Amino acid sequence: MNKKFNARSFSMFLVAAFMFSILGIINPNELEVKGAETIPQVSVASLDHAPYVEGDSNAFFVASKGYTGQVQYQLFYTSPKTMGTRWELVNNSDMVNGWTKAVNAQDTAKIDITGLNLKADYYRFAIRVKRVGVKGKYSNVYGDYDSAFPFTRVVLSKGDINLNGDLSINKTSFTPSDSLQISGVEGAASDVEYKLHLYDVKNNKWMTDLTSYGSSIDYSLNKLSSGAYIVDVWGRRKGSSSAYEGWKLQTIYVQEEILPKIGIVSLDHTPYKEGDNNQFYITTKDYSGQVQYQLFYTCKTTMGDKWELIEADGMVNGWTQPQDAKEPVKVDISHLNLKAEYYRFAIRIKRAGIKGKYSNIYGDYDYALPFTRTVVKDSSTNLNGKMLIDKEEYSKNDQLVIKGVEGASAGTQYKLHLYDAINNKWLLNLTDYQNEINYDLSNIPAGTYVVDIWGRNAGSRNSYDGWKLNTIKINSDIKKIASIEDIQLSTIQNFSFKLPTTVAATFEDGTKANKSVVWDRAASTAKVGEYTFSGTVIGYYGNVKLTLTVEDNRGNTHGNMNNLGIVAYDKGWVYYSNYDDEGKLYKEKLDGSEDTKISDDPSIFINVLGEWVYYANYSDAGKLYKIKTDGTGRTRLNNDQSEAINVVGEWIYYSNIADGGKLYKIKTDGTERKKLNDDPSGFINIENDVIYYVKINDGGEEQPIYKVKTDGTGRAKVVNDLVAWFQVENGWIYYSNASDVMNIYKVKIDGQGKTKLNNVPSLFLNVSDGWIYYSNLEEDGVLERIKLDGSSKHTITSYSAMMINVIGNNVYFESMEEDDDSLHKITVSE
């Protein structure tokens, strides 16, 4: 073999002069790098092995320096002998348009060139690198790039040594406590010896001659930091005088050594009373192998500075038996017979079968944790007994049932927490305090858990008076549910409402439990209507059906409230002011049956929402009251004379006559009373969080309609006319225009589209179900109605009607006749 020629071809990373004119692949002007811009440069471009013999599989190992982001590489080659001045782009199955997949610049990329089928010859290569997602500093016909590197390689017709096979390495992922073990290269001759070098990709640094030549390599990695390394094994025949006759490469990764730490260490129960049996529950975090524990204790009062090693059954030299790090270990300390004192403890942990990171006279270990505990003489809280738990292994959708602690005081209540030993995570406050715990495990992942129940004595105001621990396992088995009944619920429009998180389920064995449910979507209360939801429950092979009825969030209609709110409707009942009984509050069915007095209060401006009736009580100067629909819970909400009352959701809006009729709001529980404007306000209408009202004038040509937001901002005039009566309905304002002899007009809420609807003086307007009801003052106040476009005029009754209230097809009104004090009702046929 020509040694001079081999020395050049086997040079691992030939630092060649840049080639300045190879079909524009590299341009000398493009080699200038401005210091202000950080761009990647190729630091390594080496064959997987040498010698490279015709017919070998081979690849280039490539890495970058001077950059920390992601990069891509592009490779070109030529042979002056067979290709002349023509260059070819290397494009294998792992590349796109000749570019490798994105890789971290501080990692290696491997470009397979086996498919080139290179014959024995001299080859020139050029490799380009670019940042991912950033336009390259330079550009040519092959695209943009940041830097380029030329080099040469030789393919031989035959070689004296064969390093084409796989490197026989113990693994490719290491920690600093590991050894790198290499037994050779598959297919190499038995007399080949090997020598180790490493290239630190991250720091662009060679570590050479790490071993002498030998039949195998065993090298400790304890001095290596984390990162990617190229293993470069030189090979030569035994007895050869050459520095090397070939090499073989492999990428390895060194990761930071993961040491176990203590997850929890807790007593079985507190308070720890003198004479109690007790033990420590111990878990590990940040490690997944097997571990062992060692415990020490001391008491300054009785032991001075002396520490004692705790030896319990099953321990050897104070160490527990090897145990999976994800499984809790119990160390019994009952035999220590600890007296009422303050104690210091220390716990140590080590990986089973691996030398610990630290060492002292008690042996090696990986981590230590000090902690303290106090033993008391006596306590009124006793949680020393057995936890009354139904079992210790549960199905995925089981109920965790705990009936307390044996021997605990009567009246002790319990609260549940779980510690996830696998994921080192506390699941806190899973229940409130209660006499027994019955908790659905459906949403708890399979695994091992420490059950931690807090105990609190009857009448105690402490967060807890003690605790009791146990361990359980949750498997992935599913208990079958036989049936879940459909659910019917109702709520109010625009109220905050969440679907139930549990449903009542019956299992195949007949037992019942509330189980977690996942619904197909969240509930919206934006629109009135009936909505159906489908829910899934673990263990139930059907779907749970829930029907939600969203009811109007108003206590009454605008039209009724503008006419004193004499009647209101809710869930089949009509609530009304009984004119035949001094205006007292009554309710009756829609057909007039089951007439029932609710309150002796003379009531107008009646609103009904949920289980409450809201009204102005004229036995108490018109102040705002509420009473439940069954006549209980009568409550005064304010001290204002309140008119034009509108209950919308959680708020009540009203005109405060005691303050000149100004607009106020107050919560339905009587709190957060607030003034919203300084205008004398009548005919309050509320739509989409905007309040519309008439600004009442003592005289003049205008009595305009204004609007203001429900928070009191955004006051603006909407209608300039002298308005006698009005109602907002679905984006339109219908009003009696006293500027035009009280004819009915309509206009959009933005003030546009003003339209006259009739030619008769009209008062007491009530818009309902597509009709406008009104009193025709030209005909002595007879009750009429027209369509919303002014058509289909129809006289309902010859009665002179005022204060027109409408519920469905029933029209309620007072007579204008002075000697008629009754509340009239008439049913309108379509």
Identify the bridge partners of residue 692 per DSSP, sorted by sequence position. 685, 707
Identify the bridge partners of residue 370 per DSSP, sorted by sequence position. 346
- Give tens-digit pLDDT for 378-416: 999 999 999 999 899 999 999 999 999 999 999 999 999
CA atoms in the 13 A half-sphere facing the CB of 389: 23
Nearest to 147 by CA among 86, 96, 72, 202: 72
Residue 24 confidence (pLDDT) = 35
Residue 712 confidence (pLDDT) = 95
CATH topology of domain 481-551: Immunoglobulin-like (2.60.40)
CATH number attached to the domain at 167-254: 2.60.40
- E strands within 697-789? 705-709, 716-719, 723-729, 732-737, 743-748, 755-756, 762-768, 771-776, 782-787
CATH topology of domain 558-827: Neuraminidase (2.120.10)
Residue 699 confidence (pLDDT) = 63
- Give tens-digit pLDDT for 579-598: 999 999 999 998 899 999 99
Phi then psi dihedrals of residue 667, to 5 deg: -65, 155
> b/e string for 765-798 if b means 16 or more Cβ within 10 A?
bbbbeebbbbbbbeeebbbbbbebebeeeeebee
Identify the bridge partners of residue 470 per DSSP, sorted by sequence position. 451
CATH number attached to the domain at 3-155: 2.60.40
Whether the domain at 167-254 and the domain at 558-827 fall into the same CATH topology: no
What is the Cα–Cα distance from 322 to 46, expressed in whole angstroms? 46
Residue 553 confidence (pLDDT) = 83
| H helices present in 651-718, as ranges | none
CATH topology of domain 261-376: Immunoglobulin-like (2.60.40)
- Give tens-digit pLDDT for 63-78: 999 999 999 999 999 9
Residue 55 confidence (pLDDT) = 95
- Give tens-digit pLDDT for 553-576: 889 999 999 999 999 999 899 999
Phi-psi region of 84 (alpha: psi -120 to 50; beta: other; left: phi over 0): left
- Confidence tier at 23 by pLDDT (50, 70, 90): very low
What is the Cα–Cα distance from 292 to 745, expressed in whole angstroms? 88
- Give tens-digit pLDDT for 222-252: 999 999 999 999 999 999 999 999 999 999 9
What are the extents of the domains in the chain?
3-155, 167-254, 261-376, 387-429+442-471, 481-551, 558-827
- Give tens-digit pLDDT for 93-117: 999 989 999 999 999 999 999 999 9
In this prediction, residues 538-545 reach a mean pLDDT of 94
What is the Cα–Cα distance from 716 to 714, expressed in whole angstroms? 6
Query: Is 346 exposed, middle or buried, given 0-12, 13-18 or 19+ CB atoms closer than 10 A?
Result: middle
